[in-house]
């Protein structure tokens, strides 16, 4: 394993010049934390302005037991990826979108947020400092995890008096243990992820804590994850614990509209555009659970999951299957288009990638 001590970090820096990529088993990356060399940290006091951040050795941070984030969940996170091109340069995918989403979430959670410029600059600094952890081309990506939290002490319920913006990174491979093979989902209709007026539309940490129990039940039954239905009608598709969902029927691709209860995914939004450019008709609307019976293909999208084909969905004891154990043609096509852009294998006609 890799130690997270400052000692490890300084050793790492000293041999950074001689080793372009870190010594890691690049063939077997999953989606687990690999300790890297550095992290970014910036603080914001009651004046609402963030300090000029710093890149420091990766390791534990100190917070008061009374911190707003620990007691009342005042926290947001983001996720984006960096890919290494064959020429060794590094590409980020739409980092300003994450910056904007963090700002929107911060508004909902009564937190100050870094500007888009500070966010993107911080991401770049963190990736460059951890450059040797960006996997070789084709072996995965560097997952970048920005955090924004109420780190100041509170006791009564109120916004914290101080905030911390941090970024850490980890090399990753496939999110699901199935790899690129289709995943099996279950609709657990006694659980809901978000309700109208709640925080489902922002990337608050609490949204992810609240899905753990349903996820555990699903995994115990052998499913990969849970697909949620809306909390009002218990009828329309919302999203999977960690990703958005799309259905394909002929030339039409449909996905749940953004209406405050689902996470506005950056991969979701990108896939909508990529599919439209390929000539598909894309509908963002209410997608009824009944439509799963008629769909040709179903797939999930997310930064972590990329485009994951769905092989089956179980609802009220009935199982519908897709893709004949394989990856559907449309899912495969969209996966390839998106990842070729992200990895710089094709020219970026969308202007989505940022080269470091
Ligand atoms: C991501 O896809 O980046 C996410 O933030 C989802 C998380 C549950 C891994």
pLDDT in the model for residue 145: 98
- Examine the residue annotation and report whether 139 is marked as an active-site residue of this protein: no
Could you tell me the distance, in angstroms and rounded to a whole number, from the CA of residue 155 to the centre of ligand 1? 30
Mean pLDDT computed over 201-210:
98
Mean pLDDT computed over 71-85:
97
* pLDDT tens digits, one per residue of 32-48: 999 999 999 999 988 88
pLDDT in the model for residue 323: 86
Count of other CB atoms within 10 angstroms of residue 206: 15
Mean pLDDT computed over 129-139:
96
Could you tell me the distance, in angstroms and rounded to a whole number, from the CA of residue 250 to the centre of ligand 1? 29
Mean pLDDT computed over 287-298:
97
If you take atom 5 of ligand 1, which residue's CA is the nearest one? 79
If you take atom 7 of ligand 1, which residue's CA is the nearest one? 242
Mean pLDDT computed over 92-111:
98
Mean pLDDT computed over 322-346:
93
% of the chain surpassing 90 pLDDT: 89
Mean pLDDT computed over 212-224:
97
| 304 within ligand 1 shell (Cβ under 6 A) | yes
Could you tell me the distance, in angstroms and rounded to a whole number, from the CA of residue 243 to the centre of ligand 1? 7
| 207 within ligand 1 shell (Cβ under 6 A) | no
pLDDT in the model for residue 12: 46
Report whether pLDDT(170) > 50: yes
Mean pLDDT computed over 194-208:
98
Could you tell me the distance, in angstroms and rounded to a whole number, from the CA of residue 292 to the centre of ligand 1? 24
| 303 within ligand 1 shell (Cβ under 6 A) | yes
If you take atom 8 of ligand 1, which residue's CA is the nearest one? 242
Report whether pLDDT(98) > 50: yes
> Which of 19-23, 233-237, 286-290 is least confident?
19-23
* pLDDT tens digits, one per residue of 145-162: 999 999 999 999 999 999
> Which of 8-12, 205-209, 308-312 is least confident?
8-12
What stretch of H or E contains 252?
strand 252-256
* pLDDT tens digits, one per residue of 256-275: 999 999 999 999 999 999 99
* pLDDT tens digits, one per residue of 295-314: 999 999 999 999 999 999 99
In terms of pLDDT, which residue wins out, 212 or 47? Answer: 212
| 33 within ligand 1 shell (Cβ under 6 A) | no
Report whether pLDDT(15) > 80: no
Report whether pLDDT(168) > 80: yes
**How many whole angstroms separate alpha carbon 135 and alpha carbon 172?**
8
pTM for this predicted structure: 0.94
7: confidence class by pLDDT, cuts 50, 70, 90: very low
What ipTM describes this predicted complex? Answer: 0.98
| 309 within ligand 1 shell (Cβ under 6 A) | no
Q: Which atom of ligand 1 is nearest to the CA of 208?
A: 8
pLDDT in the model for residue 48: 87
6: confidence class by pLDDT, cuts 50, 70, 90: very low
Report whether pLDDT(325) > 50: yes
Using alpha carbons only, what angle is made at residue 156 by residues 152 and 159, rounded to the nearest 5 degrees? 45
Ligand 1 site-directed mutation target among 240, 302, 305, 307, most atoms within 8 Å of CB: 302
pLDDT in the model for residue 20: 85
In terms of pLDDT, which residue wins out, 54 or 12? Answer: 54
**How many whole angstroms separate alpha carbon 212 and alpha carbon 242?**
11
| 198 within ligand 1 shell (Cβ under 6 A) | no
User: In terms of Cα–Cα distance, which of 354, 221, 227, 346 is closest to 298?
Assistant: 227
Distance, first Cα to last Cα, the chain: 28
DSSP string for residues in 19-48: -SS-SS-GGG--SS----SEEEEEEE-TTS
Catalytic residue among 85, 124, 203, 235: 203
* pLDDT tens digits, one per residue of 225-242: 999 999 999 999 999 999
pLDDT in the model for residue 16: 46
pLDDT in the model for residue 59: 97
Question: What average pLDDT does the structure give for the chain?
Answer: 93
Report whether pLDDT(18) > 50: no
Contacts (Cβ under 8 Å, ≥6 apart) of 246? 253, 254, 255, 268, 271, 298, 299, 300, 301
């Amino acid at each position: 394993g890799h130690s997270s001590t400052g000692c490890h970090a300084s050793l790492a820096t000293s041999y950074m010049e001689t080793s372009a990529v870190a010594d890691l088993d690049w063939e077997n990356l999953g989606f687990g934390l690999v300790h890297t060399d550095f992290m970014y940290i910036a603080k914001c006091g009651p004046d609402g302005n963030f300090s000029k951040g710093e890149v420091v050795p990766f390791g534990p941070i100190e917070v008061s037991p009374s911190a707003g984030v620990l007691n009342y969940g005042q926290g947001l996170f983001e996720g984006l990826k960096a890919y290494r091109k064959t020429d060794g340069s590094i590409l980020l995918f739409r980092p300003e979108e994450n910056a904007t989403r963090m700002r929107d979430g911060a508004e909902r959670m009564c937190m100050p947020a870094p500007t888009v410029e500070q966010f993107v600059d911080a991401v770049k600094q963190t990736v460059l400092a951890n450059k040797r952890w960006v996997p070789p081309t084709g072996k995965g990506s560097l997952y970048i995890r920005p955090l924004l939290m109420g780190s100041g002490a509170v006791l009564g319920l109120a916004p914290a008096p101080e905030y911390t913006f941090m970024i850490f990174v980890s090399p990753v491979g496939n999110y699901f243990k199935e790899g690129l093979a289709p995943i099996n989902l279950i609709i657990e209709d006694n659980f809901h992820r978000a309700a109208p007026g709640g925080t489902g539309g922002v990337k608050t940490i609490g949204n992810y804590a609240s899905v753990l129990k349903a996820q555990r039940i699903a995994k115990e039954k052998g499913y990969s994850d849970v697909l949620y239905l809306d909390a009002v009608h218990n009828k329309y598709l919302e999203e999977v614990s960690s990703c958005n969902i799309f259905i394909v029927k002929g030339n039409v691709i449909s996905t749940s509209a953004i209406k405050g209860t689902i996470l506005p995914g950056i991969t979701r939004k990108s896939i909508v555009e990529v599919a439209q450019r390929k000539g598909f008709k894309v509908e963002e609307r209410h997608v009824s659970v009944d439509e799963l019976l008629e769909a040709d293909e179903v797939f999930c999208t997310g930064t972590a999951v990329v485009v994951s084909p769905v092989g089956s969905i179980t609802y009220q004891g009935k199982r519908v299957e897709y893709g004949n154990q394989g990856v559907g043609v449309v899912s495969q096509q969209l996966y390839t288009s998106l990842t070729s852009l992200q990895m710089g294998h094709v020219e970026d006609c969308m202007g989505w990638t940022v080269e470091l």
